[in-house]
């Protein structure tokens, strides 16, 4: 937390009142009718309750919205795949703010839609950029964000309710365990799930959630981040008993 506060002071400046927006990257997709959801999940719906002048001639606008917790840029709470682990509202704020480590596996994923990040990939990244520090936010960059908004290319299938045709990269069990061993605070990926499309047992989810490590899915614009040095801030909707939540995720560049 001391690191985080020091970083924010450097960005904002002791006498500045405005953050340098050129250093702030929005890693969040907009929620609308095009938002990507798991094929069996309820999609985002927005209903206009009021939008215009009221009886007094004054402007008033209000909407209702409804959706699954798990869709678009969102957080998976540990309780999602591990009994008695933290719900969305129970995750400490300090675990949602931390130094980013971007692990780039775009080349591997370009060759194999079902590629799984391996422990060997993480060790190779550490060989190049140094050991992944405890309390890091590890972001796995597969390159699939370029397909977001095109379900057939992003998920491998655009058929609602059908899971058999899903094909996209994810995190392997050995890599998930290594991240647990490194004692990271948070993991994220630019696909619809930390487990790859063909998964049926969701091993990465189970390993990470058992260790009370939340996951960010459908993270945008990772390509704008350096391999290390940025600060990630992920703020999910604080849902009591939530298994996840829509999340506004930003990164502050060094």
* pLDDT over 90 at 14, yes or no: no
* pLDDT over 70 at 9, yes or no: no
Residue 77 CA to residue 111 CA, distance in Å, equals 31
Q: How many helices (H) and strands (E) does the chain have?
A: 6, 12
Confidence of residue 1 (pLDDT cuts 50, 70, 90): low
Contact between 247 and 73 (Cβ < 8 Å)? yes
- Domains along the sequence of the chain with CATH: 2-40+69-252 (3.50.30.50)
* 232-237-243 Cα angle (round to 5): 100
Confidence of residue 13 (pLDDT cuts 50, 70, 90): low
In 81-99, which positions are buried (b, 16+ CB within 10 angstroms) versus exposed (e)?
A: bbeebbbbeebeeebbbbb
pLDDT at 20: 87
pLDDT at 145: 98
Q: Is the pTM of this model over 0.85?
A: yes
pLDDT tens by residue, 49-82: 999 999 999 999 999 999 999 999 999 999 999 9
pLDDT at 90: 98
Confidence of residue 95 (pLDDT cuts 50, 70, 90): very high
pLDDT at 7: 55
pLDDT tens by residue, 172-189: 999 999 999 999 999 999
Confidence of residue 2 (pLDDT cuts 50, 70, 90): low
End-to-end CA distance of the chain: 17
pLDDT tens by residue, 102-145: 999 999 999 999 999 999 999 999 999 999 999 999 999 999 99
Q: What percent of the chain is predicted at pLDDT more than 90?
A: 92
């Amino acid at each position: 937390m001391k690191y985080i506060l020091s970083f924010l002071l450097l960005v904002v400046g002791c006498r500045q009142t405005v953050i340098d927006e050129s250093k702030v990257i929005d890693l969040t997709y907009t929620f609308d009718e095009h938002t990507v959801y798991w094929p069996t999940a309820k999609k985002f719906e927005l209903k206009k309750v009021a939008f215009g002048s009221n009886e007094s001639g004054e402007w008033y606008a209000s909407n209702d919205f409804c959706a699954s917790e798990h869709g678009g840029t969102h957080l998976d709470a540990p309780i999602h795949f591990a009994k008695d682990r933290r719900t969305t509202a129970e995750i400490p704020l300090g675990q949602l703010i931390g130094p980013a480590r971007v692990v780039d596996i775009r080349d591997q994923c370009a060759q194999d839609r079902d590629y799984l990040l391996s422990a060997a990939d993480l060790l190779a990244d550490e060989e190049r950029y140094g050991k992944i520090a405890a309390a890091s936010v590890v972001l796995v960059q597969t390159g699939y964000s370029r397909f977001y908004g095109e379900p057939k290319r992003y998920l491998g299938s655009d058929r609602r309710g059908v899971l058999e045709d899903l094909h996209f990269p994810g995190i392997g069990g050995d890599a998930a365990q290594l991240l647990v061993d490194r004692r990271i605070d948070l993991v994220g990926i630019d696909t619809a799930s930390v487990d790859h499309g063909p998964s049926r047992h969701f091993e990465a989810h189970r390993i990470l959630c058992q260790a009370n490590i939340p996951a960010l899915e459908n993270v945008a614009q990772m390509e704008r981040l350096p391999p290390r040095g940025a600060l990630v801030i992920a703020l999910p909707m604080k849902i009591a008993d939530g298994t996840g939540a829509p999340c506004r995720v930003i990164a502050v560049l060094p």
